[in-house]
Amino acid sequence: MRILVAYASKYGATQGIAERLGDRLGERGHEVSVRSCMDIDDASGFDAYIVGSAVYAFNWRKGARKFVERHAAELSAHPVWLFASGPLGTDVVDKDGKDVLKEAEPKQFAEYEGLLGPRGKKVFRGAYDHEQLRGADRMVVWMPAVRDLLPNGDFREWHEIDAWADAIADELGTPVGSVERAQT
């Protein structure tokens, strides 16, 4: 099965998640293309789609939103999954006792429910490196109050990403003509 994993990433953490999903699905016998949403003019020719973006202020990045808007007809005619990355740190619940990952869902998850009918939606933890910032982001983060709110580090939970890719692969089934790899 041909799968497109389309992503919008600002500093590379979301791209890393997309690449990991693609690698894992490839290991399961699927033909996978992992590409930036900004680099996709024609989204046709795939049997399934996974679309993800970094989240800022409860929104997907503009590139991911525009990708979905341009290709909604194609996406909605096939199985589609959505993901987001963003929460930093390891807290499971916030100061109010709410689930951190649930609270970090971008508003596009709800908006695209009726438009795309996604089979699944998932929020993954992100990564953040003070030293990678550029432009206005770099200026803001050097303010002590802001810098202290953003924990520095890679918080991506690779086992969670792998498990989600495996669940997608299980739902799609074994591609015709592929041989399942033996588990060792």
Tell me the pLDDT tens digit for each residue of 91-114. Answer: 899 889 999 899 999 999 999 999
Tokens coding 62: 């503009």
User: Running DSSP on this structure, what letter comes out for residue 112?
Assistant: H
Tokens coding 121: 């939606």
Q: What is the pLDDT of residue 152?
A: 72
d(CA 176, CA 48): 15
Residue type, 51: V
Tell me the pLDDT tens digit for each residue of 112-144. Answer: 999 999 999 999 998 876 556 555 554 455 555
Which CATH superfamily, name and number, covers 2-127+156-172? Flavodoxin domain (3.40.50.360)
- Domain map of the chain by residue range? 2-127+156-172
Q: Tokens 């953490």 sit at which residue?
A: 13
Per the CB < 8 A criterion, the answer to whether 73 and 35 are in contact is no
* Phi, psi for residue 9 in degrees, rounded to 5: -130, 140
Q: Tokens 């006792």 sit at which residue?
A: 97
Nearest to 67 by CA among 137, 4, 129, 142: 4
pTM: 0.85
User: Running DSSP on this structure, what letter comes out for residue 70?
Assistant: H
Query: At residue 67, does pLDDT exceed 50?
Result: yes
Tell me the three state secondary structure of residue 5. strand
Tokens coding 179: 């041989």
